[in-house]
Amino acid sequence: MENNEVNNNINNEQPIQEPVQNNLKSEKPKKKSKLIFFIIPIVLVVAVVLGIVFLKKPSDGTVKTKKTVDKFDINAYIPFSKDGLYGYMDTNGKVVIEPQYESAGEFNNGLAHVSLVTEGSFLREYQVIDKKGNAKINYKIHYTPLENGNILIDSVLYTKNYKKITDDKYKMTYDSSAKLLKWETATDTNKGLMDLDGKIIYTHKFKSDYGYLYVDRSDVPENFKDNYCVIKVSDDGYKYGIINCKTGKVVYNLTEKTIYEYDNNIFKIYAEDYDYNRVYVQDDKVVYTAKLNKDLYYYGDGYLYTYDEKSNRVYINTKTGKEQSEKPEIKLDVDLKNELSDCELAPGFEKIESNRGYGLLYGNKVAVPCEWEKIYPFPESVQNYLTTIGKGYVVAKRSSEYYLVSTKNGKTITKFDATDVETGKNSVFVSYKDKDKKVYSVYSMISGKSLSSDKEIAIGPNYVIVTADGKKNYYNSNLKLIYTGEINK
């Protein structure tokens, strides 16, 4: 299969990726009136109250990165190749952008990434184009989509609609583990951190241009009020500190003591001779420090635990700091993200369970009965689109058999003769291999038709490519053949 035909994700180094195979897996005139003197104070009071309400933080105080879900476009233009160059056609096979690019990616939100033909140069040049082939942005190296929908392109931060957020004076990189942007400028020795919306939250003035800033975020469950990070400053030696990852507020000042982050806002601070103290940070302060060389763990619902000199467990209330030997009766705020990862569906669905198996609940209605060993969702953008056309599906497994099940009535739509089924791609197709692993197949959730081949099938959002007899055959979301082309040499 040729390169750059199907591109579902853009990574940091290579904007155009390899094909995705089914690897299975108006104001009125003013009037003088005494009434106005009574109305104005009332309006002002209401405005102030509303402002307080809307500016108030959520009652649960949780820290959440704003997640954006792109709208799935069933009519998105399809990349294709001809004579070694790439262009785009519509879902009926009509050419809409002539082949002229070295590579071409998928259209998303009306925009796509392409690489230009650069003969005699080792460096590629890239563009973001619209549906008319007009260049919206040119870039050379990095294209990094962020969790909140913004994009870092060659060290400049943009919105998802490609409006510039940050000034060109900043040189920025994305720290994916800390989920923060590191920045520096060429005019001074300041360096620091920005949030994903381009707001500077932390600045350190280094002694020279060679200083470096490291940051490590403590992993916490979603119901935690705050999240804290260790910062490590390399500037004529190393210094460590602790900051609020969202606001940048310094919780523990820079020190020569080595600090490591652990889960649940617990940090290990080393003293001399390898001795250490573990501390718990909450409400922008250290609320508890364990005894020397004693470990500290988060128990749940506002409690920590450690061990005394006799190795007995001691529980600590994080609000009062009071210690107790009795095990607290609490509702464990266990992070169930991993357990529920197979049921992260479109908003409204909830996983339910009984002694007969797993199912899905939508509001107060059972969408899928509790009779399955495993439930596999489709990406949220796909689920949302299917809902707009009156459909909704999941793949469910029982006794090593896979079925497509309707979330409208819980009925089985079809059975897949497969050893495994792929549902994770941003596509309206289900892909699978037969049990003998000799035949590749795709099922269209739009038309209800299937297509099989003894060669791997490349899966796009709204199309598939089947290679046969030296030709590449393009099929749309209804599995209708729309274009046949040569394989690039």
Residue 382 confidence (pLDDT) above 60: yes
Lowest-confidence segment of 52-56, 245-249, 301-305, 394-398 by average pLDDT: 52-56
pLDDT above 60 (res 187): yes
CA 38 to chain centre: 51
CB 437 within 8 A of CB 449: no
**pLDDT higher than threshold 60 for residue 340:** no
Please, are residues 125 and 118 in contact by the beta-carbon 8 Å criterion?
yes
Q: Which of 399, 364, 359, 353 is nearest to 377 (CA)?
A: 359
Better-predicted residue by pLDDT, 16 or 288: 288
Confidence of residue 67 (pLDDT cuts 50, 70, 90): low
Above pLDDT 70, what percent of the chain? 79
* pLDDT score of 140: 82
Q: What percent of the chain has pLDDT over 90?
A: 52
Give the range among 29-43, 84-98, 265-279 with minimum mean pLDDT: 29-43
**What's the pLDDT band for 222 if we cut at 50, 70, 90?**
confident
**In the predicted structure, residue 183 carries a pLDDT above the cut 90:** yes
* The residue count for the chain: 489
Q: How confident is the model at residue 305 (pLDDT cuts 50, 70, 90)?
A: very high
